[in-house]
């Protein structure tokens, strides 16, 4: 989408849709938000949605469907086996990616489970540009190891580097030499990299990395869950791709990989997932996992209504106007907060705006989870639910010590076609207020710590009475009912 020019106003992101269905929001008074945060164990995952004003936890499964997606749901074929809905979905994916072998799953982490179970052996290695929480957990649960080989520049919080998700080819070569190609289960490239701020990977880097892997006989895997944002960034930031259409770029990327998987809770604007397998024999070798863990081969645990909707969503993802709104809203949020002096992850990536919690709460030790504390504070100060993406999202080392995250962030996700610019401005305003009162925020400690993926269901408590002091300061400025 080209930047809309204004006669009497600075350029701002424009919604390229009109609203036809609405859902009422609820803004609790600050004292009630404090109580709800305490009840939820200072874990935003455990809040009730009815107690949230702006839900920016994730863009997974919460994106708005278009009118065409909703109308497509009416023609869903409910057959357990041989559903025509499946064949429409498969054919659309083959049209876009050029791969006709589809294994349907109920969501992205099911794809990760199946791929890891098929390829990972004890002590084997999986190369990634950067891990995602579940992609790593599936590998390590099976006794494998993950080597994160993103370029060092990708971990620099404030930067102008356009593709911070690029993998370091020299590190890849060294890893192959050290491990031996036969001990590398596969190379997984994530487009874009969720845990370092939704930062994209360039087409050129994907091409070089996959060529290197294939020269050693290593299977190449693309996590395409956040592909729509990455496609936008390739078109606007990669000079050699500016004259290519989104459909052309997508096919060029697809042609590089042996396996492509996705969460349709992100890619496709619906709820489900799938694995595309290029090699016929490999595809058949993996089929049993679907019937064992997901369902039959023509629904894979998904609702056929959702499958019809996502089939339309795949096509909408090829529309530059559709996929450009998210990155533009995110960049606007990042730019304004950066101008206010709030430490942000720059440049703006996909998925959401990311606050550099390590710098904002420099007085809170990593072992007291500054990202977790900041995201809890933001809910208290505005009813905004974000997500911790830092040390709390890591798992402990074998000796019980904390594995300190490379980057410590709060993610403010922008579900597609959900929030307006005025709501975005509200978020910016409350983040700025919180930053100016950051000295009031303290750390957290666990009172219930699950062994795996603890950030989902763990419960914490503040190390002092800082939440009460923060709420009192907020009420003094905005009133008790805000």
List residues with catalytic annotation: 80, 132-133, 223, 266, 389, 455
φ/ψ of 83, rounded to 5, equals -60, 130
Contacts of 44 (CB under 8 A, 6+ apart): 57, 375, 376, 379, 385, 386, 387, 388
Placement of tokens 């496709």 in the chain? 268
Placement of tokens 């065409």 in the chain? 68
Contact 99, 277 (CB under 8 A): yes
CA-angle at 422, arms to 233 and 408, nearest 5°:
55
Half-sphere exposure (CA, 13 Å, Cβ side) for 73?
14
CA-angle at 221, arms to 164 and 179, nearest 5°:
85
Closest Cα to residue 201, out of 246, 171, 240, 168? Answer: 168
Instruction: Give the DSSP H or E segment for 142.
Output: none
- Strand 384-385 and strand 352-356: the pairing is unpaired
Other beta carbons within 10 Å of 156 = 15
Helix, strand, coil share (%) of the chain residues, nearest 5:
45, 15, 40
Instruction: Give the DSSP H or E segment for 137.
Output: helix 133-141
C-alpha–C-alpha distance, residues 211 and 53, integer Å: 47
Contacts of 131 (CB under 8 A, 6+ apart): 146, 148, 195
Q: How far is CA 63 from CA 66, 111, 246, 287, 415, in A?
A: 10, 20, 20, 30, 5
Name the DSSP letter for residue 43. -
Closest Cα to residue 113, out of 293, 281, 268, 258? Answer: 293
């Amino acid at each position: 989408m080209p930047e809309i020019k204004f006669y009497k106003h600075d350029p701002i992101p424009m919604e390229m849709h009109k609203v036809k269905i609405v859902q009422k929001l609820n803004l609790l008074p600050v004292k009630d938000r404090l109580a709800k945060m305490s009840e939820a164990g200072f874990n935003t995952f455990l809040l009730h949605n009815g107690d949230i004003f702006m839900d920016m936890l994730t863009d997974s499964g919460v994106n708005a469907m278009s009118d065409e997606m909703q109308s497509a749901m009416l023609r869903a074929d409910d057959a357990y086996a041989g559903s025509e809905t499946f064949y429409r979905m498969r054919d659309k994916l083959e049209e876009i990616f050029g791969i006709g072998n589809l294994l349907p799953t109920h969501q992205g982490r099911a794809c990760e489970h199946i791929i890891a179970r098929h390829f990972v052996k004890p002590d084997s290695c999986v190369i990634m540009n950067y891990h995602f929480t579940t992609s790593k957990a599936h590998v390590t649960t099976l006794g494998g190891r993950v080597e994160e080989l993103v370029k060092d520049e990708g971990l620099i919080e404030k930067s102008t580097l356009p593709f911070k998700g690029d993998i370091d080819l020299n590190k890849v070569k060294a890893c192959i030499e050290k491990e031996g190609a036969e001990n590398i289960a596969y190379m997984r490239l994530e487009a874009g990299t969720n845990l370092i701020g939704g930062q994209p990977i360039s087409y050129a880097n994907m091409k070089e990395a996959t060529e290197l892997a294939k020269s050693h006989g290593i299977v190449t895997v693309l996590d395409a869950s956040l592909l729509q944002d990455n496609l936008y960034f390739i078109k606007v930031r990669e000079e050699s791709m500016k004259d290519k259409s989104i459909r052309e770029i997508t096919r060029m990327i697809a042609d590089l990989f042996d396996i492509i998987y996705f969460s349709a809770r992100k890619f496709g604007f619906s709820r489900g997932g799938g694995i595309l397998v290029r090699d016929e024999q490999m595809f058949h070798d993996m089929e049993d996992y679907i019937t064992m863990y997901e369902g039959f081969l023509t629904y894979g645990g998904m609702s056929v209504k959702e499958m019809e909707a996502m089939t339309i969503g795949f096509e909408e993802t090829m529309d530059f106007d559709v996929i450009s709104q998210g990155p533009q809203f995110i960049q606007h949020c990042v730019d304004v907060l950066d101008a206010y002096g709030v430490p942000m992850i720059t440049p703006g990536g996909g998925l959401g705006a990311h606050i550099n919690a390590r710098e904002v709460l420099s007085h809170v030790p990593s072992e007291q989870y500054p990202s977790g504390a900041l995201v809890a504070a933001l809910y208290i100060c505005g009813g905004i639910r974000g997500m911790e993406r830092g040390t709390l999202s890591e798992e402990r080392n074998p000796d019980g010590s904390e594995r300190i995250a490379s980057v410590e962030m709060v993610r403010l996700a922008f579900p597609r076609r959900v929030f307006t610019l005025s709501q975005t401005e509200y978020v910016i305003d409350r983040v700025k207020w919180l930053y100016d009162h950051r000295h009031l925020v303290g750390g957290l400690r666990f009172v219930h710590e699950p062994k795996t993926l603890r950030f989902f269901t763990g419960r914490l408590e503040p190390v002092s009475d800082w939440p009460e002091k923060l709420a009192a300061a907020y009420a003094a400025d905005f009133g008790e009912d805000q």
